[in-house]
Homo-oligomer: A and B are copies of this chain.
Amino acid sequence: MLKVPEHQVAGHLAIDGKLGPLVDDSGRFYKPLQGDGRGNKELAFYESFSSDTRVPEHIRKYFPVCYGSQLLEASNGSGLLHHLVLQDIVSSHRNPSIMDVKIGSRTWYPEASDNYIQKCLEKDRRTTTVSLGFRIAGLQLYEGKESGYWRPGRREVQSFTVYNVRSILRRFVSSNSSIGNESSDCSFAPSIYGGSAGILEQLLELKAWFEDQTIYHFHSCSLLILFDKESVSKGSTPVPVIKLIDFAHVVEGKGVIDHNFLGGLCSLIKFVSEVLSDSKESLIKDCVESEKPGICTDNGNCQQS
């Protein structure tokens, strides 16, 4: 039984007769192979990547597993179409908060046509891509049983400023649902951004690889960052997930590091570390100011002594 993914935050949705990805109940994600060659390029990337022994094992976990391609009824009713069969990263999560962060200060690659470059450049300048080295391409934040998800529309997402991005990175790990830098409590930052299995450590692991690898240049790729807020609220500490997705514009690195991706990744890392250190500071303040001073533990609790 194929269905439209419940938690897709960017790209075309398979609704209203449009072409889009589908998922099944066994944890697979079916992405239609786009006809302009991009689909085949992405399939070729997965084939090359999965057999490339130069990619270390600890890096493979940041990529969805690929199960090849399969002919399926397309979601727009146009008949049988080849689909890329991928691991469904999201569906196993009950109430995932998700950010799709497109990395790099340019989304075009040197070999592309002038027209394509100008189109990308225009969008890169209009969004935070040029200024920040990354842009949020889509997101949903789980706000609780009553209010459900905050999922801004495409236009709103494309108009995000640097201020908005910083604010969303705080709100992403906050227990209160109000928007804005000042009011977000960032109470999940120590357990989601911080810790040995947290987002920051994972980003740093990826960074170390990007400082060295010269196999691929990942143009217009996204980092999908997600975790289940509900389970954090209930006291357990779920491992937040980071996956690289969208490989239609990957080109060979030819012995040069992907400095475009690496620069953007470092910029994201700086933003995430700032949210984390701010939250730790305010935690220390809370501990000191509380009537029973305690010790701030690594996972962000104020342990009473």
Contacts and interface: CB of A to CB of B under 8 A. Distances in A.
B266 A259 contact: yes
Contacts of A266: 211, 257, 259, 262-263
A130 B106 CA distance: 10
Oligomeric state, in number of copies? 2
A132 interface: yes
A106 B262 CA distance: 15
Given A105-B260, A212-B270, A267-B256, A110 B130 contact: yes
A259 B133 contact: yes
Nearest to A263: B263
Contact of A257 (B166, B254, B267): B267
B256 A162 contact: yes
Contacts of A166: 255
B105 A259 contact: yes
Interface string A261-279: 0111011011000000000
A125 interface: yes
A110 B263 CA distance: 16
A91 B111 CA distance: 42
A301 interface: no
Contacts of A263: 105, 133, 259-260, 262-264, 266
A64 to B, nearest CB: 25
A214 B270 contact: yes
Nearest to A210: B266
Contact of A270 (B105, B110, B257, B270): B257
Name the residue in A257, A263, A267 with the highest tally of chain B Cβ atoms < 10 Å from its Cβ. A263
A131 interface: yes
A121 interface: yes
A207 to B, nearest CB: 9
Name the residue in A125, A166, A259 with the highest tally of chain B Cβ atoms < 10 Å from its Cβ. A259
Contacts of A264: 259, 263
Contacts of A105: 105-106, 259-260, 263
Contacts of A259: 105, 132-133, 263-264, 266-267
Interface in A228-263: 254-257, 259-260, 262-263
User: What 8 A-B pairs have minimum CB-CB distances, sorted nearest first?
Assistant: A263-B263, A259-B263, A133-B259, A259-B267, A257-B270, A110-B130, A262-B263, A257-B267
Given A133-B256, A211-B266, 15 more contacts: A105-B105, A105-B259, A105-B263, A106-B106, A133-B260, A162-B254, A162-B256, A211-B269, A211-B270, A257-B267, A259-B263, A259-B266, A259-B267, A262-B266, A263-B264
8 contacts: A105-B106, A105-B260, A110-B130, A133-B259, A133-B263, A211-B270, A259-B264, A263-B266
